[in-house]
Amino acid sequence: MNTMTSAGQATAVSPAKLAHFVLRTSRYKEMVHFYKQVLAARPQFESDMLTFLAYDDEHHRVALLNIPGLQDQKPGVAGVHHIAFTYATLRDLVSNFERLKKAGIEPVWCTNHGPTTSMYYRDPDGNQLELQIDNFEDINDATNFFYTKEFAENPIGVDFDPADLARRLREGASESELRQRPHIGPRGFDASVKIY
């Protein structure tokens, strides 16, 4: 539906929310298990062909299609880089990290981008998920960080050890202290940046 201006011209209308994403896979059982584990999701519908998963009040956030014989992803091909999910608190993010680690699922890269503290995971098909928290209480403060000299010289982030982060949180470090991005100077894309 278009919204019309008084001059009769259609104006752009943004979506109200991001509803879900759908993945096709030939590793169907592995992928369903992975997304149930990582997102603590429950099946809303599950068959040999299709699974709808939800983790909140939406009817589904992730759908998985079982399509035998698909080729693996190839490096250097355009496509979606990652999908991000935000947790309410650092304690929730760390708790999820510890739960997944016990299940044998570990992040491939952990970095404090500044606006977010993020743990990246790969699913069985190689798709990347970013599990994150917002580091700023106010969205305007997060947006303003993009305009700082610190972000201009390091738009990548500062890597961290998630087990060390968990230990520091358990030992009583405050969430606000742990969300602060250390200043390390310039950083670009190098071999340590696992974004591919």
Q: Judge if 18-69 and 81-183 fold alike in CATH terms.
A: yes
Alpha carbon distances (Å) from 143 to 80, 137, 148: 23, 11, 10
Residue pLDDT, tens place only, 147-172: 999 999 999 999 999 999 999 999 99
**SS3 sequence, the chain?**
CCEECCCCCEECCCCCCCCCEEEEECCHHHHHHHHHHHHCCEEEEECCCEEEEECCCCCCCEEEEECCCCCCCCCCCCCCCEEEEEECCHHHHHHHHHHHHHCCCCCCEEEECCCEEEEEEECCCCCEEEEEEECCCCHHHHHHHCCCHHHHHCCCCEECCHHHHHHHHHCCCCHHHHHCCCCCCCCCCCCCCCCC
> What rounded mean pLDDT belongs to the chain?
92
pTM (2 d.p.): 0.89
Q: How confident is the model at residue 64 (pLDDT cuts 50, 70, 90)?
A: very high
Q: Could you state, in order of their start, the residue ranges of all structural domains in the chain? A: 18-69, 81-183
Q: How confident is the model at residue 3 (pLDDT cuts 50, 70, 90)?
A: low
Instruction: Name which residue leads in pLDDT, 5 or 55.
Output: 55
The answer to whether the beta carbons of residues 170 and 133 sit under 8 Å apart is: no
Instruction: Name which residue leads in pLDDT, 33 or 5.
Output: 33
pLDDT at 76: 82
Region 105-132: mean pLDDT is 96
pLDDT at 9: 77
pLDDT above 80 for 55:
yes
pLDDT above 90 for 189:
no
What is the topology classification, in CATH, of domain 81-183?
Answer: 3.30.720
pLDDT above 70 for 4:
no
Instruction: Name which residue leads in pLDDT, 190 or 58.
Output: 58
Selected from 3.30.390.50, 3.30.720.120, 3.40.50.1370, 3.40.50.300, the CATH number assigned to the domain covering 18-69 reads 3.30.720.120
